[in-house]
């Protein structure tokens, strides 16, 4: 199903006057402080975050799964769902596919559908953490790190296939996340596992088209609980460095041990020109994959503060591939993704309000109190009307969640697809 522009305009009319009041008040305040509000709005309009194809159905845990009904059961329907989110927000202009869950049957039709919804294909993701039906070799003891050459070759060939699929869709990057590691001490030789992984990545890297990037994700634990081959950003950075200039580190917010200083990681990777991609989510304990900004919004703001600084000061770092990597056990996946998008844009807007010159001066003077005041002044600004204005300018809904509910989109999806459809993915 597709949303018509007029439906959004109609719904927007009801909240227009209160939006205008709030926006005019804030825009005046910010202008008086010396901010270029127009410029901030256009940055917000430009900021697009990819939706992962596997986040459109209920996530579930290993204890069970509760469907939200009307889930997309094929690639076309997944793309249509992303189209709904994008129509309502105009901030989700890309989809990230996971292979083999999303192999297109008809490339032309899929490309046409995506472009009719104004969507691009962002990074394509390989999957060597699950055994596929009829696969010759098993990834039980790892994929790119495996001691068996045959297993490594199968995993390498899969990654090359993924590049090929992505290439036909217009994608420009491959994201590699490995579940490789060990569950018990002694199971793996750390050096052999690392070296095998490096060699395998080098081979995949050689198959990258010139204008592609390889994004290497890290994660300290799960599904292996004693060690992972790429546990942290430093290991990912080493591997990427040896692969070459088209390889980068990808930061997934959930892939850190508790209390890690993620903003510092982001900052140094950008200084080194090696931050390639970003997966947004939030967590209380581990890789909880909760809605972005739902648990630690201040941490998300501090991360964005470094991202904004890096985007302005580190031309050596490429444009980033932004993606939400969340999972929804009890919420409507589309509503949850809209909430994540809102939180991401909100943190971005607040980070754009940090007075970088004043901060630099306060840092030089050793005025710690002022430094904190500057950051918190930006953080405490209610920027929601800026986001509304950006959405209005782009033809989206003033309040995407309200519009989603008003249009009864989930009910329409259930009527169209049936209740008990199940999305492929996690």
Q: Shortest distance, CB of residue 95 to Mn ion, whole angstroms?
A: 15
- Should residue 271 be labelled a site residue for ligand PSV when binding is judged by CB under 6 A? no
Residue closer to ligand PSV, measured from CB, 55 or 87: 55
User: With binding defined as CB under 6 A, does residue 180 bind ligand PSV?
Assistant: no
Token readout for 306 is: 């470094």
Spell out, one character per residue from 272 to 311, where the chain touches ligand PSV: x when CB under 6 A holds, - when not.
Answer: -------x-------x------------------------
* Other beta carbons within 10 Å of 291: 24
| Nearest C-alpha neighbor of 365 from the set 353, 373, 376, 379 | 373
Task: Specify the residue, 70 or 277, whose C-beta has the smaller distance to Mn ion.
Answer: 277
Q: How far is the CB of 50 from ligand PSV (least distance, A)?
A: 12
Which distant-in-sequence residues (6+ apart) come within 8 Å of 36 by Cβ? none
Nearer to ligand PSV by Cβ, of 54 and 68: the residue is 54
Q: How far is the CB of 252 from Mn ion (least distance, A)?
A: 4
Selection from ligand PSV, Mn ion, none that 160 binds (CB < 5 to 8 A by kind) is none
**Site mask for ligand PSV (CB under 6 A), range 306-325, x = bound:** -------------------x
Kindly state the smallest distance separating residue 63's Cβ from Mn ion, in Å: 22
Which 200-219 positions form the footprint of ligand PSV (CB under 6 A)?
Answer: 217, 219
Chain residues binding Mn ion by CB under 5 A are 252, 279, 325
As measured in angstroms, the least distance from the Cβ of 256 to ligand PSV is: 12
CB of 54 to ligand PSV, least distance (A): 6
Query: Quick one: which of 12, 77, 91, 125 contacts ligand PSV (CB under 6 A)?
Result: 125
# chain residues binding ligand PSV, by CB under 6 A = 10
228 binds, among ligand PSV, Mn ion, none (CB under 5 to 8 A by kind): none
Please state the closest distance from residue 153 (CB atom) to ligand PSV, in A: 22
Looking at the Cβ atoms of 54 and 309, the one nearer to ligand PSV is 54
| Nearest distance in Å: CB 395, ligand PSV | 31
Hey, what are 141's tokens?
A: 């003891």
| Cα dist from 359 to 36, 76, 106, 263, 362, whole Å | 18, 48, 53, 16, 5
CB of 3 to Mn ion, least distance (A): 28
CB 240 within 8 A of CB 274: yes
Q: Which does 287 bind (CB under 5 to 8 A by kind): ligand PSV, Mn ion, none?
A: ligand PSV
**Residue 142 or 277 with smaller CB distance to Mn ion:** 277
Q: Which of 177, 233, 278, 348 binds ligand PSV (CB under 6 A)?
A: 177
* 391 lines the binding site for ligand PSV (CB under 6 A): no
Q: Residue 326 or residue 362: which is nearer to Mn ion going by CB? A: 326
Q: Cα(124)–Cα(145) distance, rounded to whole angstroms? A: 21
Chain positions contacting ligand PSV, by CB under 6 A: 54, 125, 177, 217, 219, 252, 279, 287, 325, 426
């Amino acid at each position: 199903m597709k949303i018509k522009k007029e439906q959004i305009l109609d719904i927007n009319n009801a909240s227009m006057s209160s939006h205008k009041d709030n926006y005019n008040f804030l825009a005046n305040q910010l202008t008086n402080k010396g901010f270029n509000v127009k410029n901030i709005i256009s940055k917000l309009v430009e900021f697009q975050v990819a939706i992962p194809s596997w986040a459109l159905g209920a996530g579930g845990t290993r204890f069970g799964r509760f469907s939200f009904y009307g889930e997309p059961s094929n690639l076309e329907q997944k793309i249509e769902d992303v189209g709904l989110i994008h129509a309502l927000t105009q901030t989700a202009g890309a989809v990230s596919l996971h292979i083999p869950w999303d192999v297109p049957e008809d490339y032309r039709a899929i490309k046409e559908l995506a472009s009719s919804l104004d969507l691009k294909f962002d990074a394509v993701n390989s999957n060597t953490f699950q055994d596929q039906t009829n696969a010759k070799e098993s990834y039980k003891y790892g994929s790119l790190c495996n001691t068996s050459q045959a297993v490594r070759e199968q995993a390498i060939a899969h990654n090359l296939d993924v590049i090929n699929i992505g290439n036909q869709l217009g994608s420009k990057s491959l994201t590699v996340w490995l579940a490789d590691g060990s569950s018990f001490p002694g199971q793996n030789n750390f050096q052999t596992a690392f070296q095998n992984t490096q060699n395998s990545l080098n081979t995949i890297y050689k198959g990258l088209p010139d204008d592609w990037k390889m994004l290497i994700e890290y994660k300290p634990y799960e599904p292996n609980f004693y060690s992972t081959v790429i546990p942290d950003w430093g290991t990912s950075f080493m591997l990427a460095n040896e692969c070459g200039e088209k390889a980068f580190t990808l930061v997934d917010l959930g892939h850190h041990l508790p209390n890690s200083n993620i903003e510092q990681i982001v900052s140094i990777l950008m200084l080194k020109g090696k931050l390639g991609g970003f997966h947004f989510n939030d967590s209380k304990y581990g890789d909880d994959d909760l809605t972005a900004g739902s648990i630690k919004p201040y941490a998300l703001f501090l991360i964005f503060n470094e991202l904004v600084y890096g985007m302005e000061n580190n031309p050596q770092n490429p444009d980033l591939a932004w993606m939400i990597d969340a999972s929804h056990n009890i919420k409507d996946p589309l509503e949850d993704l809209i909430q994540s998008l809102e939180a991401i844009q909100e943190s971005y807007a607040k980070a754009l309000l940090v007075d970088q010159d004043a901060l630099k001066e306060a840092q030089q003077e050793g005025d710690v109190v002022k430094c904190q005041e500057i950051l918190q002044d930006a953080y405490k600004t209610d920027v929601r009307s800026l986001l509304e204005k950006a959405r209005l300018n782009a033809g989206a809904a003033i309040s995407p969640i309200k519009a989603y509910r008003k249009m009864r989109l989930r009910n329409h999806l259930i009527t169209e697809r049936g209740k008990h459809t199940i999305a492929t993915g996690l």
